[in-house]
Amino acid sequence: QVQLVESGGGLVQPGGSLRLSCVASGSIFSINTMGWHREAPGKERELVGRIISGGYTNYADSVKGRFTISRDNAKNTVHLQMNSLKPEDTAVYYCHANLKQYYISGDRDYWGKGTLVTVSS
């Protein structure tokens, strides 16, 4: 089995910064993509950004220039550095991974349980 565990959420003032981290553990052969989605109250879950194994990244337009994703392949870890935070960034942030497991064919998607980010004065 595979687990994704997020950390780093919390309360921050507008204009502030937070850094989220997510560690994937378990029977992992290789990870194709790691990324972050978020779900704000009353809204659907949306992609924030993701990074593939080769280092290519893509971001939602709403966070471009403010958020940065990085990845440590050796530690199966992904980080989300969030700067210039706005109240509309308030949401539960979920870590996602698409990966291959030992002894199981095909790629699978896994999600963390989420971490709350609140941007408020």
Q: What is the pLDDT along the chain (121 residues), one digit of tens a residue?
A: 899 999 999 999 999 999 999 999 999 999 999 999 999 999 999 999 999 988 899 999 999 999 999 999 999 999 999 999 999 999 999 999 999 999 988 999 999 999 999 999 9
Burial class (CB in 10 A: 0-12, 13-18, 19+), 4: buried
Residue 54's pLDDT is 84
Residue 104's pLDDT is 87
Ranges of H-type helices in the chain: none
Give the span between the Cα atoms of 9 and 116, in whole angstroms: 5
Give the span between the Cα atoms of 29 and 76, in whole angstroms: 11
